[in-house]
Amino acid sequence: MKGSQSESYKKAGVDVTAGYESIDRIRPLVESTYTKGVLGSLGGFGGLFAPDFSGMERPVLISGADGVGTKLRLAFTLDKHDTVGIDCVAMCVNDIICAGAKPLFFLDYLAMGKNIPARTEAIVKGFAEGCRQAGCALIGGETAEMPGSYPDGEYDLAGFTVGMVDEKDILDGSKVQAGDALIGIASGGLHSNGYSLVRQVLGEDREALETYHPSLGCTLGEELLKPTRIYVKAILELLKAHGTAIHGISNITGGGLYENVPRMLSDNLRASIHPEDMPVPPIFSLIEEKGAVPLRDMYNTFNMGIGMVLAVDSKYVNQICYALEGVGEKAYRIGSVEQGEKGVDLLW
């Protein structure tokens, strides 16, 4: 017996039986992500994981936490909840892969005004899919029903991941040097950044989101809810084959190219980037035109079609681009690293 429903608690807005139903619905989704290191099962007080450190001289654990931001508001409007969990996983694992770390496991936090089991299942379906794409296990989390803090139709979510890398293989920017080439890996669209500006410019009511845009080839809502690409498996393959040629990696999230590329540079290095070598997806042109957004602001807010930037030994540019394309990624040489004050120059 799982326990009896507290009528007093239910009157206060928390439905315990809905929580039980949600667990039953999400259990197979969670278990579908389990990898070799998972110990125990869903429902304990903590997630257990036994990492395999064999072959590592000095294992280092690297962690990351993030959320999805106001992109969630579009999911509320369209009542579509099965992709935002992918976004949440992506925002975490794409950060730690920049250090060369393989994600081991992921935990989620889901807070809502009312636990609707079918909706909770859809959200966790996204978490599970993101974990499978990243090759990590979903080993636990928290579903909090918080009436009074959130309206019944709304929720917030966040995630936390832990990965590992051998200390000698950590990418911390110290290997990046003048003369390195910059390779951009294509994004899947907006990913999960800049949505406060997007909603202001393009609207967030159902009519706007269900409007078909020929330039996008889909409705606005379909474009805006495209999940963030997860680059973990592609980059792990790349590091395995060309590890010594990869000197730095930057995840292009909030702040765009201007703020994120310098995060992999030392104080005496500057990135020179040529935007004409970066195909810009139509959604960014739509935002720029509709909102009369200055071009610099576009590149300082959005990824502009580039989800990751790699600093690599210039002798291996062709091999690295070819390897990325071999694992399904589109890659472009977009610039170089130069001597100078830390920062980014976009050269048209």
Degrees (nearest 5) of the Cα angle 52, 241, 91?
65
Q: What is the mean pLDDT of residues 146-175?
A: 96
Check residue 3 and give its pLDDT.
52
Check residue 41 and give its pLDDT.
85
pLDDT band of residue 39 (cuts 50, 70, 90) is: very high
- Asked if residue 111 has pLDDT above 70, the reply is yes
CATH 3.30.1330.10 for domain 7-169? yes
CATH number of 181-346: 3.90.650.10
Share of the chain above pLDDT 70, in %: 97
pTM of the model as a whole: 0.94
Tell me the two tokens of residue 54: 């064999």
Check residue 19 and give its pLDDT.
80
Please name every residue paired with 62 in a beta bridge, in sequence order, or none if there are none: 163
Check residue 1 and give its pLDDT.
44
Degrees (nearest 5) of the Cα angle 277, 283, 286?
105
Q: What is the pLDDT of residues 190-211, one digit of tens each?
A: 999 999 999 999 999 999 999 9
- Asked if residue 114 has pLDDT above 70, the reply is yes
Domain locations along the chain: 7-169, 181-346
Share of the chain above pLDDT 90, in %: 91
Contacts of 45 (CB under 8 A, 6+ apart): none
Q: What is the pLDDT of residues 11-35, one digit of tens each?
A: 667 777 888 888 899 999 999 999 9
Write the burial class of residue 78 (CB in 10 Å: 0-12 exposed, 13-18 middle, 19+ buried). Answer: middle
Check residue 58 and give its pLDDT.
98
Same fold flag, 7-169 and 181-346:
no
Tell me the two tokens of residue 51: 């990492």
Q: What is the mean pLDDT of residues 111-140?
A: 97
Collapsed DSSP state (helix, strand, coil) of residue 283: helix
Tell me the two tokens of residue 255: 């702040």
Q: What is the pLDDT of residues 44-97, one digit of tens each?
A: 889 999 999 999 999 999 999 999 999 999 999 999 999 999 999 999 999 999
Sheet with 331-339: list strands edge to edge.
246-251, 306-312, 181-186, 331-339, 269-273, 343-346
Check residue 6 and give its pLDDT.
66
